Chain A
C-alpha cells in the first residue's frame, strides 16, 4: 500500500461552481454548487446523497476537474493528497492532470455501455485506459489485468468478449475492474448501481466494498438511494439545492438526522414489513437559477421561522463529526 501523510486525501474548501450562459443578451446563472466544503480521509467511503438537480454531479465534476463551459469555478479549491504530493486540481498543468487521472484518481460511471467501446473487445478498453499508466510491456500488462479480474471473481475470458455479450451486471463489474486496475488512491463512483436490479446490485456493491478494503482507496459514492448509503458508506453528506446541508457518520445521520430535509428523507424510506402511512414532502426543489433567499429549504420546511428566509445557515458541528446547516437542528427520532 502507498505511504500517505496523515490528513485527508481530498479537501474541498468553499467550492462554488456555477453554470453561466449568455445567449441573446439574456444572462443566466445556475448556482449548482454553492459554498461546499468537505474532506475525505484515506481508506474511507464517503456517500453523497441528494435528489436530481441538487448539484451532486456538478460537485464531482469539479472534483475531477472535468470543467467545461458553461460550468465555471468561481471560488474555492479542490486539493488532493496523493502519497504526500498535494495537487490543486484547478491549478495544475494539464499534462500532470492527464498523468494523475486513472492512475491516482479514477471513475466508476453509471452507464457501463458508454464506457466500454461497443465495437471492440473489452481487452481493448483496458489497453486504452490503463496501458500507459501501468507502463509494462503488453504481455505483462495483460497478465496484470487477468490477475486483477481473477481477484474480482471475473473469468479472464471476458477480455475477449464484446460489451453486448455481457449482462448489465457483468458489464458494471468490468467497469469497476477497469477503474481499479491501476490501484488508484481515490475513486469517484457516480450512481454505479442505479441501473441494476436488486439482486445484481447487491453483488456489485459487495464487489466495490471488497476492492476498496483491498486497495485501501477512498471512494466518493454518489447515489440518491439512501438504502445503498446505509449499507455501504462510512460517512454521508446530504446535498440539497447546491449546498451540503448535513454531514456525519452514516450511522449517526440515520439514527439522529439534524436537518429537517434529511429527517424527512429517512422517515419516508419505504421498508419491507412496514406499511404505516408515510408523508410526502410538499413543494418542489427550487430552481437553482433563482434560489430562494436564506436557507434554500425554508419554503418546504416544517420548522421554518423568520430567520430562515433571511440568512443562510452556516454548517455547524453539532456532535463530534456531525455537521448540519440549519437554524433549528433539533434531533428527531425517525419513525
Chain B
C-alpha cells in the first residue's frame, strides 16, 4: 500500500434535499475506486456527462467534501483524519486544484500577482521578498510565462489562456504531487486550448506531477490521458488504459459517448444528420 499516491476506495457521497418530511436523497457518487501510483506520474481522466458525479468526486479528492462512505487515502493518510490548520495546510501543499473558468477564479479587482505572492508565502514557506519572487517566477517559467509579464496586471488585461496558465502556475508554487483539474480547457479559446493541454502533458513529464483531468471532451481526453474512468450517474462504468478504452469501449454507455463525439471532418458527416 505504501506505493499509492492516491487511493480512492469505494467512495459514496449522497446529498439529501427536499423538506423535512419529504426527504429526497441523491447519490452523487456511488462506489467509485481509483488508485494512482507514486512511482508513475500520470494523467488520469474522469469523463462523464453533467450530473455524473465527476465534480463531486474531485471535491472529495480535494478534501472539500467528506465521503458518506468509503475512504480516500493520500500518501497513506486517510483524508477524514486530517484535523487542524497545520495538517490541512500540509495536505493542500500536496494537492492543488485548477478550476474551469479562469475569469471567475481570479478576483477582477485584484492584481493577479498578489495571488501568486500570497500562495508563495503561505504554501511554499518562504518569507523573504526575494524568496517569494523566486518561487513565483520559477512557477511562472514552468508554464511558459514570467513574472515580468504578469507583474501588476489585472485579470482583464490577460487572455483566457494566459490567465489559465497563471492559475496553473499558482497551483505549482507549493510543488504539489497531485493536481486536480476540473474542465481546465472548456472555457479557453480554441487557438489557445492546445497549448494548455500540452502544458499539462509537459508538467507530468518534466515535474512528475500526477494530474486528475476532469472533462466531458473525449477528444482531448484521448490526446493526453494515460488512464481513463468513465462515469455515469455516480457509478464508474468503465476504466482502464485510455487508448484501449476509447479505441474499443465495452460498456454500452461508453459506446454511446464515443458515437456522440462529432468528427471534425466534414467528409465523415453522418447521413442521418
Contacts and interface: CB of A to CB of B under 8 A. Distances in A.
A273 B222 contact: yes
Contacts of B256: 199
B82 interface: no
Interface residues of B, number: 43
Nearest to B223: A270
A308 to B, nearest CB: 18
Contact of A227 (B246, B258, B262, B272): B262
Interface string B177-215: 000000000000111111111100000000000000000
B251 to A, nearest CB: 14
Most buried by A among B161, B195, B220, B264: B264
A281 B191 contact: yes
B49 interface: yes
A231 B159 contact: no
A271 interface: yes
Given A206-B273, A251-B266, A274-B223, A261 B191 contact: yes
Given A209-B273, A272-B222, A284 B192 contact: yes
Interface string A265-278: 11011111111011
A189 B266 CA distance: 20
Contacts of A142: none
B272 A272 contact: no
B265 interface: yes
Interface in A214-261: 224-228, 230-232, 250-251, 254-255, 261
Contacts of B197: 270, 278
A254 B192 contact: no
B219 interface: yes
Interface in B222-273: 222-224, 243, 246-247, 256-258, 260-267, 269-270, 272-273
Contacts of A275: 222-224, 243
B263 to A, nearest CB: 7
Nearest to A49: B190
A199 B260 contact: yes
Given A197-B50, A197-B216, A270-B223, A279 B260 contact: no
B218 interface: yes
A261 B273 CA distance: 28
A268 B193 contact: yes
A168 B50 CA distance: 10
Contacts of B267: 251
A84 to B, nearest CB: 31
Contact of A198 (B194, B260, B266): B260
B52 to A, nearest CB: 9
B46 to A, nearest CB: 14
A271 B192 CA distance: 16
A285 B159 CA distance: 8
Contact of B273 (A205, A224, A250, A270): A205
B190 A231 contact: no
Given A273-B247, A284-B161, A231 B260 contact: no
B110 to A, nearest CB: 21
A51 to B, nearest CB: 4
Contact of A271 (B193, B219, B224, B272): B219
A284 B162 contact: yes
B160 interface: yes
Contacts of B269: 230-231
A201 B264 contact: no
Interface of A: 51-52, 168, 197-202, 205-206, 209, 224-228, 230-232, 250-251, 254-255, 261, 264-266, 268-275, 277-281, 284-285
Interface of B: 49-50, 158-162, 189-198, 216-220, 222-224, 243, 246-247, 256-258, 260-267, 269-270, 272-273
12 contacts: A198-B261, A198-B262, A205-B262, A206-B272, A224-B190, A225-B262, A231-B273, A250-B266, A271-B222, A272-B261, A274-B223, A279-B198
